Structure 1
């Protein structure tokens, strides 16, 4: 009979997520993960099989724990309010010193030279899902007359997706939060 696991899976996944988020997949070593997760090598491999599987699970954990920001788009009373609320929370997180820089998904997309197919699919799904959430909110805005019907909301949704990911990258190298907030306001004015 095998030994009963004596750790909280969500907690150790959260610790692994933070290491991958801070260092990236390539630079994260198994000893880094073992130290952060406070697991033995055998427990790590018995539970997660290998580093790649753990990475995929860490990205899934990230998606689950960061969903509330997306809900700001889905539950918004108006397009502009929803987009502003989303980006205000997004910018606050991007500049939060208690969190690793940027966004785990953006980092994953930019850090891996040739991402594994499963990781690439996760990233692609995340990008498409966010673009779709922006599009649906903009579409509601057009239906209510808040967004001019002549605006190309497919283009605007893609622009907002790119703004989202560029904030993650810029926040890692330029700590001028006011400049990013100003950029967000200018984009909202375009709507």
Structure 2
């Protein structure tokens, strides 16, 4: 279906499909490893269409990162609603394993794959990914603080340290997934983490 720009000029591609293709390319090849030619070929559009619709490469990446966060990481927000701290972490980590090992995904974590090895020229992109990760860790820490306040976690438990520990294990699983670790082996990591849950 043709979409129409404000000036009445037809846009001969599906914006949603094009953004999905860009996200998968960044996920698979990294920000700097993905060239403009990769993007235009993969998205099925011309460079003028890419710039006109998504802005430059950095802006396109930010849109792809937001799509990843809202869609593939949606389980994180849902996990925060679980009634106990252990249930929160179990749902969150199980969600990570599903996302990291789904056969329809490039594998691993979008943020780690796409931006953690950026050069100085892509510092802004790396910072954007780090800020997303910090926000996730802060959100988890706040949920752990709530659990502590409710008596669900021991009084000597530090919610910030606990959240950092869980996020570190989760990011480690993402690295393992890129290296070929399968769902079964990652689920064992989740089980070990939950076995040592405080309280």
TM exceeds 0.5? Answer: yes
Structure 1: distance between partners of 2:10 and 2:102: 37
Of stretches 84-93 and 56-65 in structure 1, the one that deviates more from structure 2 is 56-65
Of stretches 154-163 and 110-119 in structure 1, the one that deviates more from structure 2 is 110-119
TM-superposed CA distance for 1:69, in Å, is 1.3
Change (3 A) 1:174 1:117: closer
State the Cα deviation string for residues 109-128 of structure 1 (Å, max 9, x = none).
42313363432332122111
Helix, strand or coil for the counterpart of 2:116?
helix
Structure 1: distance between partners of 2:121 and 2:65: 13
1:108 corresponds in structure 2 to: 114
Change (3 A) 1:66 1:97: closer
* Equivalent residues of 2:28, 2:114 under 8 A apart: no
Helix, strand or coil for the counterpart of 2:148?
helix
Give the counterpart of 1:190 among 184, 193, 197. 197
TM-superposed CA distance for 1:10, in Å, is 2.2
Show structure 2 runs of 5+ residues with no match.
Answer: 1-6
Helix, strand or coil for the counterpart of 1:190?
coil
Of stretches 133-142 and 157-166 in structure 1, the one that deviates more from structure 2 is 133-142
TM-superposed CA distance for 1:78, in Å, is 1.1
Show structure 1 runs of 5+ residues with no match.
Answer: none
* Equivalent residues of 1:70, 1:133 under 8 A apart: no
Q: Kindly tell me the number of residue pairs found equivalent between the two proteins.
A: 191
Change (3 A) 1:101 1:43: same
Structure 1: distance between partners of 2:65 and 2:49: 20
Give the counterpart of 2:67 among 32, 54, 61. 61
Alignment of 1:2-151 (within 5 A): 3-114=9-120, 116-151=122-157
TM-superposed CA distance for 1:76, in Å, is 1.1
| TM-score normalised by L of structure 1 | 0.89
Change (3 A) 1:73 1:56: same
Change (3 A) 1:177 1:41: same
| TM-score normalised by L of structure 2 | 0.86
Of stretches 157-166 and 136-145 in structure 1, the one that deviates more from structure 2 is 136-145
State the Cα deviation string for residues 155-174 of structure 1 (Å, max 9, x = none).
11111111121111111113
Q: Which structure has the higher relative contact order (CA within 8 Å, separation 6+)?
A: 1
State the Cα deviation string for residues 109-158 of structure 1 (Å, max 9, x = none).
42313363432332122111111121122112212322111112211111
Alignment of 1:168-187 (within 5 A): 168-187=174-193
